[in-house]
Amino acid sequence: MKGWSGRYLYIDLASPDKLKFVNIPQEDLVKFVGGRGLAVKLLWDLNKPGVDPLTPENHLILAVGPLTGYPLPSSGKMVVASKSPLTGGYGDGNIGTRAAVELRRSGFDAVVIKGRAPKPSILVLDRGKVSLEDGSEYWGLTTDETEVRLKKRFGEDSAVLSIGPAGENLVRYATVISEFGRSAGRPGMGAVMGSKNLKAIVIRGQEEPEPFNREELVKLGAEAYRKVKESPGYEFWCRQGTMATIEWSQKNSCLPTYNFSEGVFDAWESIDGYIMESMKVRVKACPYCNMPCGNVVKYVTSTDKGEAELDYENVAMLGSNIGLAPLNKVAHINLMADRYGIDTISLGNVLGYVMELSEKGLISERVEWGDYSKIKELVEQIAYRRGFGDLLAEGVMRIASKIGGDAPKYAVHVKGLEVSAYDCHAAPGMALAYATSPIGAHHKDSWFIAREVRMGRLDYLPEKAEGVAWLQNIRGGMFESLTTCRLPWVEVGLDLDYYPKLLTAATGYTYTWEVIHEVANRIYTLIRAFWVREYAVAEVRWTYEQDLPPVKWFTQPLTKGPFKGVKLDLDKYMVMLRHYYKVRGWNEDGVPKEETLRKLGLDFAIGTLKQLGVQLS
Ligand code: PTT
Ligand code: SF4
């Protein structure tokens, strides 16, 4: 077998001496490719249906793909996946870090972690040797302190993934952090690690698996690197990276503002890409990337100073969405989130939500829009689950149900995952993309708004549903399984046709576009089957209602900007949603049909779902 290692490491933290090296059937590798595809297959097979995500029985999976770590753009990415403690469904995140490359060089396509260590621990994969080390001295440290100390102990050439206090304290939207500003697993992958008493994973590999056709792979990779550099958008991308999206979102009235009440923010120019450029001190890149976008700024406020790596999502959610400006204050909150290991997107939602509840008198706690010192206090309370922070650490969905009354009307989430940074009052296609994303409301699978701006914002066309599914297949199906960064294609227009060719050169299997779409359809359908299974065990019937965007976008129109007065229309949205189900081969409730499961080679899911009483027609 070429291009893959062909096995995964299985470790139960309660008995680490019994670790296993498990061969992966070649058929599974070809059918699921790697990364997210491999992760969902392993989760389906290994997780007992209905397992509580924060118990030892849940599995945490790190997975790379057949392009990870080869010399081609931008191949230093990996997937971290598990059953999510925030949503109760499938959860994952994609992180750019040397840990991806080192894992690939360790001789595994995935690492599967079960159980709970009796005391805080560090999992070490060091050039073929696997061990579980005492991590007590690191428990309580922030992610940056942990990484610095672990590198001192295990060598500067080792790569580190760690959790901060938020993961330790089981904040439901805690993430896994690497390299002081790379974050993975919005739906609480850090909390899953914390529940296992696993403070960090240290990886140092030796040799990558041999590709099927190295000469072709290197040739295509070199050509693609050159095309990236020659792109007309290259220079500006290297200046602003994702931060240019602040201006774009403001102009297109989708910049999340005041808990997704508006799409424009009066102070947007004080948090935009040009301000970021004036504060920038250096740029960081993921491994094997020649279009670096990790913009690190130096900031000073009247009380704080430091350096933080900024991205659009972070700045929109911790800026306009909570009424905070200028950028130096936003940068400090971003840094706090990275150090504690909290997802910035969910954090910005939670803070915006309690600000709106406070404004409407629905909670007794006073939290004003943009109140910098109160925000800092709350972020710390969340990370340590102190006082009011204990409720906020549960995420928007649970806060809403705890408070009750009118509170759920203002809760912005899908399936429990808070919405990322695009307001959808005037973007029905993007709303559909959030509502059908396989992890809850995240833009990574289908950034449909960029197309919607070109094709018309206010239509509810069936073509939009088809476009959402197509984009999901490319972004969430192909890129998440390869695993490489999608931004060379999205941002500087690298020809998509490189990817099937690279995949074929790496593995020796002919991956045509038809095959790639079939793989992606298989992955989306198995992820959906996983959600349906978990809901069925909890005796909750899966219906189309799980695929509705936040109610706020249907009920409270925008009050400013070019789309003033606009809100979503439920009847028209339902027409798009039904068309989306048809495209995917799912029934009117959004459940995969038996014939679809068979067609995609997912027959193994049919019996389980039927036994649970799920209708597959
Ligand atoms: C991703 C999500 C994003 S998406 C951002 S900014 W973005 C937020 N970043 C956070 C952060 O930082 N710190 C923190 N404490 N929480 C954060 N939460 C948010 O997490 C990221 C880049 C970006 S920057 C994007 S769009 C692209 N995402 C890719 C993807 O998903 N897949 C893929 N194949 N390629 C991608 N390339 C780009 O990578 P999650 P990263 Mg992240 C500080 O992990 O869980 O998927 O959530 O991965 O290494 O930080 O790179 O405007
Ligand atoms: Fe990482 Fe940015 Fe390069 Fe993608 S474009 S690999 S996120 S540095």
- Do 380 and 440 reside in the same domain of the chain? no
- Do 483 and 411 reside in the same domain of the chain? no
- Do 361 and 283 reside in the same domain of the chain? yes
Strand intervals (E) in 355-469:
413-414, 417-418
Q: How far is CA 65 from the centre of its chain?
A: 17
DSSP label at residue 368: -
Which atom of ligand 1 is least distant from the CA of 482?
Answer: 34
Question: In whole angstroms, what is the distance from residue 245 CA to residue 248 CA?
Answer: 5
Is the CB of residue 315 below 6 angstroms from any atom belonging to ligand 2?
A: no
* Final residue of a structural domain among 422, 437, 464: 422
Sign of CA dihedral 325, 446, 530, 190: negative
Q: How far is the CA of 471 from the centre of ligand 2 (A)?
A: 19
Using alpha carbons, list the distances in angstroms from residue 382 to 340, 341, 356, 398, 419.
10, 11, 18, 14, 19
Which pair of tokens denotes residue 253?
């009235």
Are 532 and 89 a contacting pair, CB within 8 Å?
no
Q: How far is the CA of 502 from the centre of ligand 1 (A)?
A: 24
Are 74 and 3 a contacting pair, CB within 8 Å?
no
Q: How far is the CA of 582 from the centre of ligand 2 (A)?
A: 34
Is the pTM higher than 0.95? The answer reads: yes
Residue 507 lies in a domain: no
Residue 260 lies in a domain: yes
Q: Please, which pLDDT band fits residue 530 given cuts at 50, 70 and 90?
A: very high
Tell me the three state secondary structure of residue 125: strand
Q: Please, which pLDDT band fits residue 128 given cuts at 50, 70 and 90?
A: confident
Is the CB of residue 262 below 6 angstroms from any atom belonging to ligand 1?
A: no
> pLDDT tens-digit profile of 206-233?
999 999 999 999 999 999 999 999 999 9
Which atom of ligand 2 is least distant from the CA of 241?
Answer: 2
Q: Please, which pLDDT band fits residue 37 given cuts at 50, 70 and 90?
A: very high
> pLDDT tens-digit profile of 259-294?
999 999 999 999 999 999 999 999 999 999 999 999
- Do 56 and 188 reside in the same domain of the chain? yes
* Final residue of a structural domain among 394, 422, 450: 422
Half-sphere exposure of 293 (CA within 13 A, CB side): 23
- The average confidence (pLDDT) of the chain is 98
Stretch 73-83: mean pLDDT, rounded? 98
- Do 414 and 439 reside in the same domain of the chain? no
Are 339 and 314 a contacting pair, CB within 8 Å?
no
Query: Closest Cα to atom 24, ligand 1: which residue?
Result: 311
CATH code: domain of residue 392: 1.10.569.10
Query: Closest Cα to atom 2, ligand 2: which residue?
Result: 293
- Do 59 and 37 reside in the same domain of the chain? yes
Is the CB of residue 238 below 6 angstroms from any atom belonging to ligand 2?
A: no
Q: How far is the CA of 548 from the centre of ligand 2 (A)?
A: 31
Is the CB of residue 95 below 6 angstroms from any atom belonging to ligand 2?
A: no
- Do 349 and 285 reside in the same domain of the chain? yes
Are 369 and 257 a contacting pair, CB within 8 Å?
no
- Do 151 and 249 reside in the same domain of the chain? no
**For the CA of 491, the nearest ligand:** 2
* Final residue of a structural domain among 422, 444, 476: 422
Confidence at residue 1, expressed as pLDDT on a 0 to 100 scale? 82
Q: How far is the CA of 287 from the centre of ligand 2 (A)?
A: 8
Residue 276 lies in a domain: yes
Stretch 346-370: mean pLDDT, rounded? 98
Q: How far is CA 467 from the centre of its chain?
A: 21
Residue 110 lies in a domain: yes
Show Cβ contacts of residue 61 under 8 Å, excluding neighbours closer than 6 positions.
39, 42, 43, 79, 80, 81, 82, 110, 111, 112, 113
Residue 218 lies in a domain: no
Query: Could you tell me which of 293, 276, 294 has the C-alpha nearest to residue 179?
Result: 294
**For the CA of 421, the nearest ligand:** 1
Is the CB of residue 249 below 6 angstroms from any atom belonging to ligand 1?
A: no
Is the CB of residue 181 below 6 angstroms from any atom belonging to ligand 1?
A: yes
Confidence at residue 574, expressed as pLDDT on a 0 to 100 scale? 98
Angle formed at CA 85 by CA 114 and CA 551, multiple of 5 degrees? 155
Are 479 and 78 a contacting pair, CB within 8 Å?
no
Pairing of strands 60-63, 77-83: antiparallel
CATH code: domain of residue 117: 3.60.9.10
Is the CB of residue 491 below 6 angstroms from any atom belonging to ligand 1?
A: no
Residue 498 lies in a domain: no
Which helix H or strand E contains 553, and what residues bound it? Answer: helix 552-555
Confidence at residue 487, expressed as pLDDT on a 0 to 100 scale? 98
Confidence at residue 444, expressed as pLDDT on a 0 to 100 scale? 95
Query: Closest Cα to atom 1, ligand 2: which residue?
Result: 286
Residue with tokens 């997937």: 79
Best residue for ligand 1 mutational test, from 444, 473, 478, 503 (most atoms within 8 Å of Cβ): 444
Confidence at residue 129, expressed as pLDDT on a 0 to 100 scale? 95
Confidence at residue 56, expressed as pLDDT on a 0 to 100 scale? 98
Are 193 and 97 a contacting pair, CB within 8 Å?
no
Q: How far is the CA of 508 from the centre of ligand 2 (A)?
A: 27
Residue 501 lies in a domain: no
Query: Closest Cα to atom 46, ligand 1: which residue?
Result: 93
Residue 503 lies in a domain: no
**For the CA of 79, the nearest ligand:** 1
- Do 256 and 361 reside in the same domain of the chain? yes
Question: In whole angstroms, what is the distance from residue 500 CA to residue 481 CA?
Answer: 12
> What range defines the domain where residue 37 resides?
7-204
CATH code: domain of residue 554: 1.10.599.10
Per 3-state DSSP, the chain is made up of helix, strand and coil in percentages (nearest 5) of 45, 15, 40
First to last CA, the chain: 38
- Do 303 and 320 reside in the same domain of the chain? yes
Best residue for ligand 2 mutational test, from 487, 490, 491, 492 (most atoms within 8 Å of Cβ): 487
State the burial class of residue 571 (Cβ atoms within 10 Å of its Cβ: 0-12, 13-18, 19+).
exposed
Query: Closest Cα to atom 16, ligand 1: which residue?
Result: 343
Are 184 and 95 a contacting pair, CB within 8 Å?
yes
Query: Could you tell me which of 175, 150, 316 has the C-alpha nearest to residue 249?
Result: 316
Show Cβ contacts of residue 497 under 8 Å, excluding neighbours closer than 6 positions.
none
- Do 531 and 464 reside in the same domain of the chain? yes
Which atom of ligand 1 is least distant from the CA of 187?
Answer: 45
Is the CB of residue 36 below 6 angstroms from any atom belonging to ligand 1?
A: no
**For the CA of 340, the nearest ligand:** 1
Show Cβ contacts of residue 177 under 8 Å, excluding neighbours closer than 6 positions.
143, 147, 161, 162, 163, 164, 183, 184, 190, 338, 341
- Do 188 and 64 reside in the same domain of the chain? yes
Is the CB of residue 342 below 6 angstroms from any atom belonging to ligand 1?
A: yes
The DSSP code sequence of 463-526 is HHHHHHHHHHIIIIIIIHHHT--SHHHHHH---TTHHHHHHHHHHSS---HHHHHHHHHHHHHH
> pLDDT tens-digit profile of 383-436?
999 999 999 999 999 999 999 999 999 999 999 999 999 999 999 999 999 999
**How many domains, the chain?**
3
pLDDT of 46 over the 90 cut: yes
Are 259 and 356 a contacting pair, CB within 8 Å?
yes
Which has the higher per-residue pLDDT, 552 or 1?
552
pLDDT of 246 over the 90 cut: yes
